[in-house]
Copies of this chain bind each other. A is one copy, B any other.
Amino acid sequence: MLHKVIQKIDQHAHIDVVDAHCDIPCGIYDPHHALIGALTVVRMVDLINAKVKEHGAGSTAEFINSMARYIAIKEEHAELTKHEVRVIWGDFIKAPHVEAYPQLPGLVHKIMQLGSKARQTVSREAALDLLEAVNEFAEIFWQIKEIETKRVKAPYSVTEEMVVPVL
């Protein structure tokens, strides 16, 4: 039913064939949504900082309305990123994958922490750190599925690099 994970190169040679029994099991995993979440965090930080720069020190209703909305979307998408990564990690990643990619538990833990930091701050650096960590997670994910990836300019209003599978 699911593509068998057959590891070729020596790095992966010891991974046994693992059936990816997921939560349903549905077998439809894709880090794309986690990446959209991280890119949206970057975008919101940019909008927040642009608004503050343009607005100065006042507090008109329009200003507060915009800020509240940017922050809420930032919260929601940082949380979405954490949730999506947790699901892939919990339901797709199995013990043999962890053996082959021993950095995985630490990377996932780091994404959770960076997701929280992105919520707590309006720092562009924190947002980019989150995006980079999710990009690395996406690369490992597609490697496990034996599908090549590349990094492209995101085709959105925020154009930071994102990992996509070569299909």
Give residues in A with beta carbon < 8 Å to B: 1-3, 20-30, 32-33, 36, 39-40, 43-44, 47-49, 52, 57-62, 64-75, 82-83, 86, 89-91, 93, 98, 105-106, 109, 112-113, 115-116, 119-122, 145, 147, 152-153, 155-158, 164-165, 167
CA distance A65 to B26 in the complex (A): 15
CB-based contact A59/B57 at 8 Å = yes
Apart from A26-B43, A62-B122, A91-B113, list 19 A-B contacts with CB within 8 A. A20-B157, A21-B116, A21-B120, A22-B116, A23-B116, A26-B157, A28-B43, A29-B156, A30-B155, A33-B33, A33-B36, A52-B60, A52-B61, A65-B74, A66-B120, A68-B68, A68-B72, A83-B83, A89-B112
A48–B59 alpha-carbon span in the complex (Å): 12
- Kindly state the separation between the CA atoms of A153 and B2 in the bound complex, as whole angstroms: 14
- The interface residues of chain A, by DSSP majority, are classed as helix
Contact A40 B61 (CB under 8 A): no
